[in-house]
């Protein structure tokens, strides 16, 4: 049997400033690929929202004009904004490759983001730099430059400044339960990095203080964007704050997976510990959301 999950196709991001958030993404080279209004029943079933909710999807296109995985799906929400907390479980950051940190930071500021200082992390094997941004609507985006990159649109179009979403950073209380769940669903761990309490790493990850942590990279065999990187702190001294869950708030994220058969995927994932709500029409696709082990809020969307 073919297992249901490949790399996340998209990330759902709540926003209370739809036009401003969209303008920021367009400034990074994303284009709008769909726009719809969720019915009040669908908005409630999928995201715990009251009333109708506008939904727009943004993606990077390749040279032929094809929309690529690594999408961002914006959902309007009038809930109280989720103030960013680097120790909150759930979506920690949306990583986008950037070939020029100075130009990328300037574009981010022009797009209305709160832009931090560029942090640099060096090892004997490679150098990585990143700029942490809080974009309009509250979402955390990191502009990441690396000497060794995973596959992205930049491989075929180096004239671009930014890639699609290359990776989604998700904090979990511990790695094992979530890794077991995703492996059973067809998304295995492909590598793991362990970091000590390094100030440069803390700056790169927007952590208030250096702390040891482990990161597990999950991806399909082709390493298709977006990759999922699960992060768990290796010390009990970090004051973890649980993700508040439903309803979707500005700045809050949901992992979104495209599946061939929604009923089959739902059944298999439930067998491995996920719990789901009601299926609903999300534009031209059927979708369902639920919780996976580790408190991970995920969405399954029929292709």
| Arch. (CATH architecture) of 10-302 | Roll (3.10)
**Phi, psi (5° rounding) for residue 212?**
-75, 140
Domain ranges of the chain: 10-302
Residue 2 has pLDDT above 70, yes or no: no
Listing DSSP states for 187-233 in one string gives --EEEEEEE-S-HHHHHHTT-SS---EEEEEE--TT-PSSEEEEEEE
Q: What is the per-residue pLDDT across 100-126, written as a single tens digit (0 to 9) for each?
A: 999 999 999 999 999 999 999 887 677
pLDDT above 70 coverage of the chain, percent: 98
**Phi, psi (5° rounding) for residue 116?**
-85, -175
Q: At what angle do helices 262-271 and 175-185 cross, to 10 degrees?
A: 140
Give SS3 for 234. Answer: coil
Tokens standing for residue 135:
């974009």
pTM equals 0.95
Q: What is the per-residue pLDDT across 53-66, written as a single tens digit (0 to 9) for each?
A: 999 999 999 988 89
Return d(Cα 43, Cα 22) in angstroms, integer. Answer: 20
């Amino acid at each position: 049997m073919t297992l249901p999950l490949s790399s996340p196709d998209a990330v759902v991001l709540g926003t209370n400033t739809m036009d401003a958030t969209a303008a920021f993404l367009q400034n990074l080279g994303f284009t709008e690929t769909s726009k719809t209004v969720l019915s009040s029943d669908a908005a409630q079933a999928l995201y715990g929202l009251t009333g109708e909710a506008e939904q727009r999807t943004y993606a990077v296109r390749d040279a032929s004009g094809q929309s690529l995985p690594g999408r961002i799906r914006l959902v309007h929400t009038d809930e109280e904004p989720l103030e960013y907390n680097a120790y909150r479980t759930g979506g920690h950051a949306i990583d986008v490759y950037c070939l020029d940190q100075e130009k990328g930071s300037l574009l981010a500021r022009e797009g209305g983001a709160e832009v931090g200082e560029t942090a640099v992390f060096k090892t004997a094997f490679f150098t990585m730099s990143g700029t942490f941004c809080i974009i309009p609507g509250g979402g955390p985006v990191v502009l990441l430059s690396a000497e060794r990159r995973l596959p992205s649109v930049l491989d075929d179009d180096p004239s671009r400044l930014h890639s699609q979403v290359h990776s989604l950073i998700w904090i979990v209380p511990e790695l094992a339960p979530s890794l077991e769940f995703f492996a059973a669903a067809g998304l295995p761990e492909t590598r793991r990095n362990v970091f000590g309490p390094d100030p440069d790493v803390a700056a790169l990850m927007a952590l208030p203080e250096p702390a040891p942590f482990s990161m597990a990279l999950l991806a399909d065999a082709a390493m298709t964007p977006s990759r999922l990187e699960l992060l768990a702190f290796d010390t009990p001294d970090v004051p973890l704050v649980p993700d508040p869950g439903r309803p979707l708030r500005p700045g809050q994220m949901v992992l979104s997976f495209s599946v061939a058969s929604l009923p089959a995927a739902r059944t298999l994932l439930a067998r491995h510990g996920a719990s789901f709500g009601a299926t609903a029409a999300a534009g031209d696709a059927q979708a369902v959301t639920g919780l996976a082990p580790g408190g991970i809020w995920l969405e399954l969307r029929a292709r």
